[in-house]
Amino acid sequence: MGALWLTNEKNDRKEKDCNSLGKDEEETKSYININMNPLSLQLKLILTFINNKKEEYCYPPRINSIHKLKNNKFGIIIGEKYLSIYSSITFKLIYSIEPNKNNEIINEVKYFSLLGFIELKNNDLLLWTSKIIIIYKKIQKDYRLLQVINEFKQGTNYIEYDSDEVEDEDEQRGTECYDLNSLHELRNGLVVSCNSYGLKFYSKNNDKYTLILKQSLEYNVENIIEIKENIFILFQIKSKTYNSYTLPPSSSIDNNYIVSLYDNTTKKRKIVIEDNAYFSSFSKNYGQAFSKINYIIKDKCLFINFPNFFYIYDISQNKELIKEKEIKIEFLSNYFNDLIVAKDLNEKKIKVYQFKDEILKFYDDFPFQNFKKIFRLNNDNFIIYSDHQIKLLENI
């Protein structure tokens, strides 16, 4: 684990890039000061991760994801290896969890890489890799490993073949694969896993989580939004990879993106938005083929980014409001009142847009640049982070 430096700074330096889901913003809406200036921010604290090793080619620990937790705390996944919990007031480390040092977890997976985490209403912490769910129970100020669920071993994996050029199925060589993409807590207390198989639902009984329902779906499910009980919005993707072994070797990926309304009672699905994008290994946008569907929620409207288009969809009226190809922006945060933070992909600059009367228009440049995510704290301050640094922005 790298060393940390905590500094106090107040300046006008600008930063970039963020990403926030609407849910966090809705939870803190009651705390918003209507008199605050949404762009009047100053840098209050910086938490910088450095590598204290003297070895050559040794890089600082990388921040993979960060989310708010209860009681003025936030968690960080660092280097895909451990979860650290910090105070959002002092930026001091409170607790650190390093799952890959536990033999019970090591025995379940060959390669360990943390992808995400959530905190449930009952204070349990759920972490996940692409194949397993790791559950910790909070006991006073500590966390104890409660359970490991191996979704890969549930018989819901698929075969990924090594080559598309071999037509005879008996000659094709494949690998068993499974992708656990995200976990979410539903209003009824169930936990749902979004994965390459579809959806899996877990219930907690006698201090253990049990798989009670699994629903196979045609497309890989990346994320889910619960509109009301048993009614969801699903974010799905179906990818097809083509490999060429000529010189120079190349590959291409054809992605089909689907956003749909899903009734978990009737098992019926209605596609509301669909898009397709083709990526070649020789093109500059090849890395986007591996990115998840980016979205935020604002005032019952769903803002979605695909590589070719962005959409604004009114959930309450069940209709598409905007489909735009010419403007290249990436929606990042339901920021403040009718304002949205977005990244201009042409200028590589973070800007603030206003969404009013079903019209999206430029409002102002965001006062900081070069960061990955922004979210609001209950005191109207904000936290942003980049690859190796977290900053606390104070409203003035």
Looking at the predicted structure, is the pLDDT value of residue 27 above 80?
Answer: no
Q: Tell me what the mean pLDDT of segment 21-25 comes to.
A: 39
Looking at the predicted structure, is the pLDDT value of residue 318 above 50?
Answer: yes
pLDDT value, residue 99: 94
pLDDT value, residue 22: 36
Looking at the predicted structure, is the pLDDT value of residue 237 above 60?
Answer: yes
Cα(5)–Cα(45) distance, integer angstroms:
10
Looking at the predicted structure, is the pLDDT value of residue 18 above 60?
Answer: no
More confident residue, 32 or 79: 79
Q: Tell me what the mean pLDDT of segment 70-83 comes to.
A: 93
Q: How confident is the model at residue 34 (pLDDT cuts 50, 70, 90)?
A: low
Looking at the predicted structure, is the pLDDT value of residue 8 above 70?
Answer: no
Cα(298)–Cα(334) distance, integer angstroms:
6
Handedness of CA 165, 169, 172, 175 (dihedral sign): positive
pLDDT value, residue 287: 84
Q: How confident is the model at residue 128 (pLDDT cuts 50, 70, 90)?
A: very high
Q: Tell me what the mean pLDDT of segment 315-340 comes to.
A: 87
Q: Tell me what the mean pLDDT of segment 73-88 comes to.
A: 94
pLDDT value, residue 214: 96
- Comparing 112-126, 318-332, 363-377, the range with the smallest average pLDDT is 318-332
Cα(383)–Cα(392) distance, integer angstroms:
5
Please name the residue that has the structure tokens 């669920």. 149
For the chain, give the percent of residues with pLDDT over 70.
87
> Residue 326, SS3?
coil
More confident residue, 233 or 32: 233
For the stretch 367-379, pLDDT in tens is 999 888 888 887 7
Helix or strand run (H / E) with residue 23: helix 22-27
Q: How confident is the model at residue 162 (pLDDT cuts 50, 70, 90)?
A: low
Q: How confident is the model at residue 3 (pLDDT cuts 50, 70, 90)?
A: very low
Q: How confident is the model at residue 332 (pLDDT cuts 50, 70, 90)?
A: confident
**Are the beta carbons of 38 and 336 closer than 8 angstroms?**
yes
Q: Tell me what the mean pLDDT of segment 327-342 comes to.
A: 87
Longest dimension (CA), the chain: 69
For residue 258, CA distances in Å to 145, 232, 233, 236 come to 36, 13, 10, 5
Instruction: Provide DSSP, 337-362.
Output: TTEEEEEETTTTEEEEEEEETTEEEE
Residue spans of the domains in the chain: they are 3-395
pLDDT value, residue 173: 67
pLDDT value, residue 29: 43
pLDDT value, residue 167: 53
Q: How confident is the model at residue 276 (pLDDT cuts 50, 70, 90)?
A: very high
pLDDT value, residue 13: 32
Cα(352)–Cα(333) distance, integer angstroms:
9
Cα(347)–Cα(330) distance, integer angstroms:
12
For the chain, give the percent of residues with pLDDT over 90.
55
Cα(72)–Cα(352) distance, integer angstroms:
26
Cα(356)–Cα(89) distance, integer angstroms:
33
Q: Tell me what the mean pLDDT of segment 177-188 comes to.
A: 96
Q: Tell me what the mean pLDDT of segment 247-253 comes to.
A: 86
pLDDT value, residue 293: 92
More confident residue, 289 or 124: 124
Q: Tell me what the mean pLDDT of segment 14-20 comes to.
A: 30
Average pLDDT of the chain is: 85
Q: Tell me what the mean pLDDT of segment 20-49 comes to.
A: 65
- Choices 3.20.20.140, 1.10.1740.10, 2.20.28.10, 2.130.10.10: CATH for 3-395: 2.130.10.10
